[in-house]
Chains A and B, each alone.
Chain A
Amino acid sequence: MVPFGGWLMPVQYTGIVDEHKGVRNAVGMFDISHMGQFVVSGNGTRDWLNTMLTNNVAKLDVGQGQYTFLLNDDGGVIDDLIVYRTGDAEFLLVVNAAKVDEDLAWLEQHPANGIALRNRRPNFGGVAIQGPRVVDLFHELLGHDVELPARNCIRDFVTENMTVTIARTGYTGEDGVEVFFRAEDAAKLWNLILERGKKFGAKPCGLGARDTLRLEMCYPLNGSDLSAERNPIEAGLVFFVDLEKREFTGRDKLLETKTIGARERLVAFKMNGKGPPPRPHYALFSNGNQVGEITSGTLSPSLNIGIGMGYVSAASAKIGTPLEVEIRGQKFPATIEKKPLYKNQS
C-alpha cells in the first residue's frame, strides 16, 4: 500500500505484469474511489463550465461525456478530467484525487450565480472495470438484455437494490466502464463484481498496472506528463480543446502557443533494445545534446521493452527521431514513436 492523493492505495495485488496482462486479455477491476466526483448543477451550469473547461460542453447531450482540461490563466493544466452531462442542468466531473482541493478552489474563485458545486466523495465510490470481457461481465451483473452505454456515455442502472451509475470509459485502452455508487454499497459491489466476474478471469488490479496500461496508450498522468507549466498544445492533446469557443480560461495563451508554435512537445518513445527501463526525470539526448527529460517511463508488459514519454524541444519531436536516454551515466538508444505505443486487437 502507498499513500496516493491522501488515500492509501494498493500498488499491486498479484503482480503488476500479471494484472496488466489480465486487463489486456480478460478483465480487471480498479478501485477508483479516491477520485473526486464533483456534482455541478443549476441553470447556466453548461455555459459556466464552458468558460472553465477546454472542450465544448455544449456538444454534450444528457448521458454523454467528454475528456477535457481545467486550465490556469497561463494555459497550464490544473487538472484533466471527464465531464458528464447527467441532466439538463446537471453535470458530473470526475477529477484526479490529488487535485480535488486545487480544482475546487479554482472553480470557486470563478463563481456564477445559481450554480451549486459539491464534491460528493467520500459519500460515493468508484470502480473501473477494464478489459475485453467487460461486456460479458456487465451482462452477468445487470442482465443479458440490458444494453451497455455507448463509448463515453453514462447511465444509471439498478442491481441488487443498489443504484449504480455506469460510464463507458477508462484509462487502459481496453473496452471498459467506470462504475460510481454510494459509499455504503462499495464493499458489497466490489465483491459482487469480483464474484460474477470470476468466470471471465476478473481480477483486482492496483496502481502499478493502471500506470503501465495507461502509458502504453500514452494517456497522460497529471503531475507527471501534465502540470501547471505545460499546456494541452505542448502535450499534444489539442483535440480536447475547442479553440472555436469564444471564451474559456487559458484560451489566449493557447492561441499564442498555436501561433508561435510550442517550444517543447510531449513525445512517446520506445527503447531500441533490451536494457534498463526508462524512468521519470532521466535526461533525453539527440545528436549529443540534451533536448528534454522523461516524464513517464516503464517496461511495457505488453511489448516487453522500455517505453516512455517526455518533453523534448520541438525541433527534436518528430516521429522517427533517434534519442538517447541517460541512465546512471550511460546512454541507451531510443526512437520517437507514434502514439499510442500499444494497439489492442479490437
Chain B
Amino acid sequence: MNVPDDLLYTKSHEWIRREGENIRVGITDHAQAELTDVVFVELPKVGTPAEAQAPIAVVESVKAASDIYAPVKGTVVEANDALTNNPALINTDPFGKGWIFALKIDNADDLKNLQSAQAYKDQIG
C-alpha cells in the first residue's frame, strides 16, 4: 500500500496535505482498497464550517456508505467537483486527482494531533 511520507494521516484513514493556511484532504490508498469501487461522493459545500472529527463528506462504494471526517477545525474552501462525474478517481488516484475537499484551518497547532506516515503505516499493519 502506498503511504506517501510527506502527508499527515488520521486514524479514520484520511490523508492531509499542508498548503500554507489550507489543507487538502482525501482518503488513503488503503481506505479506497477496503471500500472497493467508489460510485458516489457527497461533497461538502464551500463555506461550510468543519469541526474536528465530525463527518463532512460521504464516500459510497458498491458495498457501503462511509463518512469522511474533517481532520481539524476549519472552513471548507474547495470541493473536488470532478468526483461528481468521476467518483472512481478516488480508486485510481487517491492521493492526487481523488482529493475530496480543502479546508482553511483555524489553528495550525491542531495539525499536531495528526499522525505521521510511519504511524499510519503501523496502524494499518
Contact = CB atoms under 8 A, between A and B. Distances in A.
B62 A208 contact: yes
Contact of B58 (A12, A16, A276): A276
A298 B65 contact: no
B65 A15 contact: no
A212 interface: yes
A299 B58 contact: no
Nearest to A209: B62
A9 interface: no
Given A12-B36, A15-B37, A328-B42, A298 B62 contact: yes
B78 interface: no
A275 B84 CA distance: 9
Interface in A11-33: 11-12, 15-17
A301 B42 contact: no
Given A277-B39, A328-B42, A17 B62 contact: yes
B65 A208 contact: no
Interface in A291-346: 298-299, 301, 328
The A interface is mostly helix, strand or loop, or mixed, namely loop
Contacts of A85: none
Contacts of B65: 276-277, 279
Interface string A262-303: 000000000000111101000000000000000000110100
Contacts of B61: 16
Interface range for A: 10 to 19
A277 B37 contact: no
B42 A17 contact: no
A132 B64 CA distance: 28
Contacts of A276: 40, 42, 58, 60, 65
B40 A17 contact: no
Contacts, number: 41
Contacts of B64: 279
A276 B59 CA distance: 9
B63 interface: yes
Contacts of B60: 276-277, 299
Given A17-B62, A276-B65, A208 B40 contact: no
A276 B62 CA distance: 10
A263 to B, nearest CB: 30
A208 B62 CA distance: 8
B40 A277 contact: yes
B40 A16 contact: no
Most buried by A among B39, B60, B62: B62
Interface in B49-72: 58, 60-65
Contacts of A274: 40
B63 A16 contact: yes
B40 A15 contact: no
B70 to A, nearest CB: 17
Interface in A207-262: 208, 212
A276 B58 CA distance: 9
A17 B62 CA distance: 8
A28 to B, nearest CB: 15
B63 A208 contact: yes
A101 B36 CA distance: 32
B40 A301 contact: no
Nearest to A301: B62
A16 B42 contact: no
Contacts of B36: 11-12, 15-17, 208
Given A208-B62, A212-B62, A299 B40 contact: yes
10 contacts: A11-B36, A17-B36, A17-B37, A208-B36, A274-B40, A276-B42, A276-B60, A277-B60, A279-B64, A299-B62
Among all A-B residue pairs, the 4 with the closest Cβ atoms: A299-B39, A17-B37, A16-B62, A276-B40
Interface of B: 36-37, 39-40, 42, 58, 60-65
Given A11-B36, A12-B36, A276-B40, 15 more contacts: A16-B37, A16-B62, A17-B62, A208-B63, A212-B62, A274-B40, A276-B60, A277-B39, A277-B60, A277-B65, A298-B62, A299-B39, A299-B60, A301-B62, A328-B58
Interface of A: 11-12, 15-17, 208, 212, 274-277, 279, 298-299, 301, 328
